[in-house]
Amino acid sequence: MNSFKRDKKEEEDGGSQFLNLEKTTVLQEARIFNETSVNPRKCTPVLTKLLYAINQGETLSAKEATDVFFAMTKLFQSKDAVLRRMVYLGIKELSSLADDVIIVTSSLTKDMTGKEDTYRAAAIRALCSITDATMLQAIERYMKQAIVDRNSAVSSAALVSSLHMSKLAPDVVKRWVNEAQEAVNSDNVMVQYHALGLLYHIRKSDRLAVTKLVARLTRMSLKSPYAVCMLIRITAKLLEEDDEAGGNDSPYFNFIEACLRHKSEMVVYEAAHAIVNLKRTTSRELVPALSVLQLFCGSAKATLRFAAVRTLNQVAISHPAAVTACNLDLENLITDSNRSIATLAITTLLKTGAESSVDR
Amino acid sequence: MEGYLLEPTLYTIKGIAILDNDGNRILAKYYDKNIFPTAKEQKAFEKNLFNKTHRANAEIIMLDGLTCVYRSNVDLFFYVMGSSHENELILMSVLNCLYDSVSQILRKNVEKRAVLESLDIVMLAMDEIVDGGIIIDADSGSVVSRVALRNDDIPIGEQTVAQVFQSAKEQLKWSLLK
């Protein structure tokens, strides 16, 4: 009776094979991975269920994880693309739980250097999740090649993985600076962003190198808005640390100010945020940044209004007088449908408002 | 002024979640070990987040020191979380990418049943968008092209057709070789 009821419920609720999954049942089903001929149509749903169960917070013991990990490695026999990619996900998910995960190193290295482009990027990311400092040297040659690969997905995957790996093996990753340098010139927006992120991470303790990097990149006008946001942050950090760079006509400050006229809203906001948060910014220098934020206050997008009013709220602490120019816009936001925006608008007005506006 | 300058780092995303209309987790990932280290804490946060957001369609909220941007459709809620000082527009671009990718994978049929039916592809898409807190790709077109590995004209899940096609191609090849 009970099982009948459950069947009926499953029929009503499509895809409910995922509801009330039991870890033990899934692990049992995962035994089909061991069958001699791999059937992707049967194995993919089982592997999906396993990953779903882990995502739901089921915890596997080291033994359970190791057993299922080894069963999963058998799936490398199949050439089915979805199954292969799900195996990569499984490797990443279990790499911290199972023992002896390095067993898949050669399979992954093969995929990473193989012809199939859809595998390569994902294989790199999976490979780096099972690699430790000593093994990284063994795959160093492939990593360097992948960073400058023509396929942007491969290049991005290698750069991102390098950054993750730099926690374990900073000295090895440091040697890849030339490749990262080359990737910064990429036409692909994400590759450029990832390359800059890695490059900065490698060089951040070397002040001279960072200044050189910034000087070069601010002139070259990066294509990626994400990379520009990153560059603004680096530049702002330089300005904050360095009093000498802070003269009235600092090229760094001019760069950030020029970004207020960028075509991407993301960059414009990043620049305005940096300017108002710099210690050295004078009231006069604040004006263009504030007028941008004022403009955002009237945006149709809630996120943009939120970002603007939150930043104005910060400015109101240090430069209340400068924010009074935006008081009218802030008053409009008091009745905003988003409560966070309304609250922020009120607290900002309390800091800037004179008696006259409180009356209204 | 108090330094709220943002740290130049690629690690911008703290978490991503897809919840159903009861606030239960369909898929979620947290990338910072310092926030919500256990599944129990994560789910408590998700419940709280859901309660605060499921009625008001307000796009953005600050909760537990995180900035969360969100979007919903029929019976699904999509969330992207970042630190409270993060550039909100960057978080939004990731959310839009997540939503648009899922929508394209499910052929505009963005609802729980469809997500569960293509759960493997949705998992792969999430993996292509953020890796360990770093945004890998924020362009839904390129995310989908990387994960919708089956031939585009064939509905996802109907591999048989693809297999027939494949074997037909193979046969042709053999007949040419003869």
Q: What is the pLDDT of residues B55-108, one digit of tens each?
A: 877 899 999 999 999 999 989 999 999 999 999 999 999 999 999 999 999 988
The two tokens of residue A255 are 């760069």
> How close, in Å, is residue A279 to chain B by CA atoms?
6
Amino acid occupying residue A150: R
The two tokens of residue A236 are 């702002």
Does A301 lie at the interface with B, CB-CB under 8 angstroms? Answer: yes
| DSSP notation for B7-57 | P--SB-EEEEEEEETTS-EEEEEE--TTS--SHHHHHHHHHHHHHHHSS--
Q: Is residue B161 one of the residues assigned to a domain?
A: yes
Chain B CB contacts of A339 under 8 Å are 56, 58
Model confidence band, residue A282 (pLDDT cutoffs 50, 70, 90): confident
The yes-or-no verdict on residue A19 having pLDDT over 80 is no
Cα gap B151→B148, rounded to integer Å: 8
The two tokens of residue B20 are 């159903």
The two tokens of residue B51 are 């309660």
Q: What is the pLDDT of residues A116-146, one digit of tens each?
A: 888 999 999 999 999 988 889 899 999 999 9
Q: Which residues contact A137 (CB under 8 A, 6 or more apart)?
A: A172
Does A82 lie at the interface with B, CB-CB under 8 angstroms? Answer: yes
Does A91 lie at the interface with B, CB-CB under 8 angstroms? Answer: no
Neighbours of A17 (CB within 10 A): 16
Q: Which helix (H) or strand (E) holds A263?
A: none
Cα gap A45→A18, rounded to integer Å: 10
Cα gap A47→A51, rounded to integer Å: 6
> How close, in Å, is residue A141 to chain B by CA atoms?
23
Neighbours of B121 (CB within 10 A): 25
C-alpha dihedral sign at A27, A29, A31, A32 = negative
Q: Is residue B171 one of the residues assigned to a domain?
A: yes
Tell me what pLDDT residue B53 has: 92
Does B154 lie at the interface with A, CB-CB under 8 angstroms? Answer: no
What's the number of domains chain B is made of?
1
Q: How are strands ordered across the β-sheet holding B66-73?
A: B25-30, B13-20, B76-83, B66-73, B60-63
- Whether A104 and A130 have beta carbons less than 8 Å apart is answered as yes
Please give the model's pTM, rounded to 2 decimal places.
0.88
Closest CA to A87 of A113, A50, A61: A50
**SS3 state at B62:** strand
Q: Is residue B6 one of the residues assigned to a domain?
A: no
Nearest CA in chain B to A191: B136
The two tokens of residue A253 are 């400050």
Q: Is residue B8 one of the residues assigned to a domain?
A: no
Distance between start and end Cα atoms, chain A: 68
The two tokens of residue B71 are 């979007």
Q: Is residue B7 one of the residues assigned to a domain?
A: no
Q: What is the pLDDT of residues B32-64, one digit of tens each?
A: 989 999 999 999 999 999 999 988 778 999 999
Chain B CB contacts of A292 under 8 Å are none
Q: Is residue B73 one of the residues assigned to a domain?
A: yes
Full domain range(s) for residue B63 = 13-177
The yes-or-no verdict on residue B159 having pLDDT over 50 is no
B116 and A16 in contact by Cβ < 8 A?
yes
Q: Is residue B3 one of the residues assigned to a domain?
A: no
Cα gap B105→B157, rounded to integer Å: 11
Q: Which residues contact A299 (CB under 8 A, 6 or more apart)?
A: A305, A308
Q: Which of A15, A47, A273 sits opposite B87 (nearest CB)?
A: A273
Backbone dihedral angles phi then psi of residue A116, each to the nearest 5 degrees: -70, 105
Chain A CB contacts of B58 under 8 Å are 302, 337-340
The yes-or-no verdict on residue A345 having pLDDT over 60 is yes
Give the gyration radius of chain B's Cα atoms. 19
Cα gap B96→B138, rounded to integer Å: 8
Minimum mean pLDDT range among A42-56, A166-180, B26-40, B164-178: B164-178
The yes-or-no verdict on residue B151 having pLDDT over 80 is no
Burial of B52 (0-12, 13-18, 19+ CB in 10 A): middle
Cα gap A308→A330, rounded to integer Å: 10
Model confidence band, residue B153 (pLDDT cutoffs 50, 70, 90): very low
The yes-or-no verdict on residue A359 having pLDDT over 80 is no
DSSP state, A30?
Answer: G
Distance between start and end Cα atoms, chain B: 79
Decide the pairing of beta strands B13-20 and B60-63. unpaired
Closest CA to A106 of A86, A127, A121: A127
Q: If DSSP states are collapsed to H, E and C, what string results for B138-169?
A: CCHHHHHHHHCCCCCCCCCCCHHHHHHHHHHH
- Whether A327 and A352 have beta carbons less than 8 Å apart is answered as yes
Residue B27's domain is classified under what CATH number?
3.30.450.60
- Count contacts between A and B (CB, < 8 Å): 181
Choice between B109 and A94, residue whose per-residue pLDDT is larger: A94
Q: Which residues contact B109 (CB under 8 A, 6 or more apart)?
A: none
Amino acid occupying residue A357: S
Q: Left if phi > 0, otherwise alpha if psi is -120 to 50, otherwise beta: which for A115?
A: alpha
Q: Which helix (H) or strand (E) holds B60?
A: strand B60-63
CB interface of B with A, residues 26-65, below 8 Å: 27-29, 39-40, 42-43, 56, 58-62
Cα gap B94→B12, rounded to integer Å: 10
| DSSP notation for A35-67 | SSS--HHHHHHHHHHHHHHHHTT----HHHHHH
Cα gap A227→A211, rounded to integer Å: 16
Q: Is residue B2 one of the residues assigned to a domain?
A: no
A269 and B113 in contact by Cβ < 8 A?
no
Tell me what pLDDT residue A1 has: 43
The yes-or-no verdict on residue A258 having pLDDT over 60 is yes
The two tokens of residue A256 are 């950030």
